[in-house]
Amino acid sequence: MSTSSSPRRFSRRTVLKAAASIPLVSIWTRPARAAEFSYKLATGQSLNQPINPRLKEAIDRIREASSGRLEIRFFPASQLGSDTDLLMQVRSGGIEFLNIAGSVLSTVVPLAAITNLGFAFSDYDQVWRGVDGELGKTIRGQIDKTGYVSVSKAADNGFRQITSTTKAIKTPDDLRSYRIRVPVSPMFTSLFQTLGANPTSINFNELYTALQAHLVDGQENGLVAIDAGKLYEVQKYVSETNHIWDPFWLLGNPRAFNALPDDLKTIVRREFDRASVEQRADVARLNASLQSQLSGKGLTFVQVDRAPFRTALAKAGFYGQWRDKFGAGAWEALEAVTGKIS
């Protein structure tokens, strides 16, 4: 197996360059001899997401470390279907591995939404202590009971920010009757409804047009998605709310994963764990670069005091409602890293 003394440091330019090198076809170099196991890994993430180059590196290392016994073909950028389609395919065995956002996974593994709890995490120190600790263990246990197997540590899908056109969102009152686009997720809808906004679910590929036509007043996403979607052309402000953090989870089909000999399972977990850890550092560097880039493209960044939002949610019963849904054990694991939430 090839090794490196330190992780590659990805700047925004190198991330995008690496992503651009991933073709929109199955990424597969045919081995010299037939592999014992030939599997597929799919993602719904666009090519400029830093998770994709790291996953490609991981499957190359897996092939090398297994001496070609395990060959994994890579299908990024929704080549094999939408996120919903991919969740069904990995459960049925149509594909063996899937990288999926926690917010999407929560539609079939409800406990996965606990990392999306509004204004719960204050920083990345809390995030990583949570998902690498007891909280992550609890989530992975639920994943493993729902027709999937959790294969590696969580990667970083980022903290989400609110963008707007006519005014910066600085306080909960600024969200009153505010028409905001959200993904299809009970947690996202519940969060913004509780704050008095009017959340609307719109596919991301339709979001630019919806903002341009003023069908919604604003939206919320991580900086990578804001840049990739060119939302800076139809938005003016970025309120740094960090209101939700979302992970990426790498899922496996249980039958296919358990069919691997123990030594191959060890290689798979080790290399995908490495990919997740290195991707986390890539995102941290990319976000710092993107803030400067997006400011140069006309977006105004506004710092926000998060405390009033959390207070408003607590008074409205938001946290109590979700604590009852997630259960005492999971909530205790969350508060062990975030501190008392409600």
How many whole angstroms from its chain centre is CA 70?
Answer: 26
Distance CA 106, CA 185 (A): 8
Q: Right CATH number for 161-244+293-338 from 3.40.190.170, 3.40.50.300, 3.40.50.11720, 3.40.50.880?
A: 3.40.190.170
Q: Which CATH superfamily is domain 12-108+146-157+246-292 in?
A: Bacterial extracellular solute-binding protein, family 7 (3.40.190.170)
Q: Look up residue 228 and give its two tokens.
A: 């990739």
- Per-position pLDDT tens, the chain of length 342: 434 444 455 555 665 566 555 655 444 445 456 899 999 999 998 888 899 999 999 999 999 999 999 999 999 999 999 888 999 999 999 999 999 999 999 999 999 999 999 999 999 999 999 999 999 999 999 999 999 999 999 999 999 999 999 999 999 999 999 999 998 889 999 999 999 999 998 877 789 999 999 999 999 999 988 998 899 999 999 999 999 999 999 999 999 999 999 999 999 999 999 999 999 999 999 998 999 999 999 999 999 999 999 999 999 999 999 999 999 999 999 999 999 997
CATH topology match: 12-108+146-157+246-292 vs 161-244+293-338: yes
Listed by start position, the domains of the chain span 12-108+146-157+246-292, 161-244+293-338
CB 87 within 8 A of CB 303: no
Report pLDDT for 4.
41
Q: Look up residue 297 and give its two tokens.
A: 């493209």
Neighbour count for residue 220 (Cβ, 10 Å): 26
Eight-class DSSP state of 49: S
Q: What is the pLDDT of residues 21-40, one digit of tens each?
A: 565 544 444 545 689 999 99
190-105-305 Cα angle (round to 5): 45
